[in-house]
Chain A
Amino acid sequence: MSTSTTLLFFGAFLASAVEMVEALTIVLGVGVVRGWRAPLIGVAAATVVLVGLVAVFGRALGHVPIEALRLVVGALLLAFGLQWLRKAILRSSGYKALHDEDEAFRLERDQAAGAAYEKKAGLDWYAFTVSFKGVLLEGLEVVFIVIAFGTAQGELAVAAVGAGAALVLVVAAGVLARGPLSRVPENRIKFTVGLLLTTFGCFWAAEGVGVEWPADELSLLGLLAFFAVVSFALVSALRQRRLAMPAVEADV
């Protein structure tokens, strides 16, 4: 397995895992209060839509010339990845609150308990729509990453398998834990995914405008290390800055 294929698999796997942990919290919060039938049908319906999006757009983009595809996909992935990285650095340095799955679960459960019961198409409509929208919105980022990774590298199946493996793992862990996966180190995973997205985005976007990387695919490892070192240095600098100045919440 080549360097890029390995990184691509782990990128899709980790991105999917962290988004599915958040989706699981939403579904659990609704399911424990209002029963499981409607939320699970909502999950299945959203999954079908997400898989359909990967199949349709993945296949369609496969016909676009690779240079143009890498420029557009690389640029979008770079902008998208920098958002993940920026937020992860702000969380690591204490400027932004960490995502609390237990708190999110409590909030979701309380809202589900207070919502009116309305039956549509034989389903508890609130439970169905909240689960459907939760999985769809969290999954859209995964779909974007899978399509971007898969088409620019020509390995859609590898990216899809990585995302699918994460989905299976998170669902299994949720069933075993019977609660939100609050011990998953979400920010560390998001930090890693942000680094991978930024690395691939930079690599492909530069290739798209005609750059030839000095060590071809191996440059990915150099880029990853470079962005990781700079990011850790930024976390360290921001922590020191926060200690030296009055506490402020980041403007994000």
Chain B
Amino acid sequence: MRHLRSFGLFWWNFIVGDDWRVAAGLAVGLVLTWYVTDRGTDAWWLLPIAVVLLLADSLWRATRSP
């Protein structure tokens, strides 16, 4: 059980890293992109905008004063 937990923790840190909100935001951004594109609008612009907003938000939170 301990090995399984360590294995899961390794991959969590490897992929998700320090800020889980970025990964969660990317998932939401991808679902939104799929939804809008599936409705007939090619939403190629949506994911890049989501990426920079998530990045800026994550950096802002990481560097704010305690």
B26, A75: Cβ atoms under 8 Å? yes
**Per-residue interface assignment for chain B, residues 41 to 62, with 1 indicating a CB less than 8 Å from any chain A CB and 0 otherwise:** 0111001100110111011011
Would you call the interface of chain B mostly helix, strand, loop, or mixed?
Answer: helix
Q: Determine if A61 is an interface residue (Cβ-Cβ < 8 Å).
A: no
> How far does the alpha carbon of A210 sit from the alpha carbon of B41 in the complex, in Å?
10
Stretch touching chain B among A12-20, A79-87, A168-176: A79-87
A206, B33: Cβ atoms under 8 Å? yes
- Of the candidates B30, B48, B54, the one whose C-beta lies within 8 Å of that of A82 is B54
> How far does the alpha carbon of A75 sit from the alpha carbon of B22 in the complex, in Å?
12
> How far does the alpha carbon of A116 sit from the alpha carbon of B1 in the complex, in Å?
31
Interface size class of B (residues with CB under 8 A): 20 to 34
Given A214-B44, A219-B44, the answer on whether A80 and B15 have CB atoms closer than 8 Å is yes
B26, A79: Cβ atoms under 8 Å? yes
- Residues of B contacting A140 in the complex (Cβ-Cβ under 8 angstroms): 14
- Residues of B contacting A245 in the complex (Cβ-Cβ under 8 angstroms): 65
A75, B51: Cβ atoms under 8 Å? no
Interface size class of A (residues with CB under 8 A): 35 or more
Distance between A208 CB and nearest chain B CB, rounded to angstroms: 8
* CB within 8 Å of B: which A219-252 residues: 219, 223, 226-227, 230-231, 234, 238, 241-242, 245-246, 248, 250-252
> How far does the alpha carbon of A80 sit from the alpha carbon of B52 in the complex, in Å?
15
- Of the candidates A206, A250, A252, the one whose C-beta lies within 8 Å of that of B44 is A206
A211, B55: Cβ atoms under 8 Å? no
> How far does the alpha carbon of A231 sit from the alpha carbon of B43 in the complex, in Å?
22
Q: Determine if A136 is an interface residue (Cβ-Cβ < 8 Å).
A: no
> How far does the alpha carbon of A251 sit from the alpha carbon of B15 in the complex, in Å?
18
Q: Determine if B23 is an interface residue (Cβ-Cβ < 8 Å).
A: yes
* CB within 8 Å of B: which A191-215 residues: 198, 202, 205-206, 209-214
- Of the candidates B27, B43, B56, the one whose C-beta lies within 8 Å of that of A234 is B56
A82, B51: Cβ atoms under 8 Å? yes
Q: Determine if B6 is an interface residue (Cβ-Cβ < 8 Å).
A: no
Distance between B53 CB and nearest chain A CB, rounded to angstroms: 10
Most-contacted residue by chain A among B27, B38, B51 (CB, 10 A): B51
A86, B19: Cβ atoms under 8 Å? yes
A227, B51: Cβ atoms under 8 Å? yes
List of 7 A-B pairs having minimum Cβ-Cβ separation, nearest first: A209-B34, A83-B17, A210-B37, A250-B62, A230-B52, A211-B44, A206-B47
**Can you sample 24 A-B contacts with CB below 8 Å?**
A75-B26, A78-B26, A79-B16, A80-B17, A82-B26, A82-B51, A82-B54, A82-B55, A83-B17, A86-B58, A95-B63, A140-B14, A141-B14, A202-B48, A205-B26, A206-B44, A210-B34, A210-B38, A211-B33, A212-B44, A213-B44, A227-B51, A248-B63, A251-B63
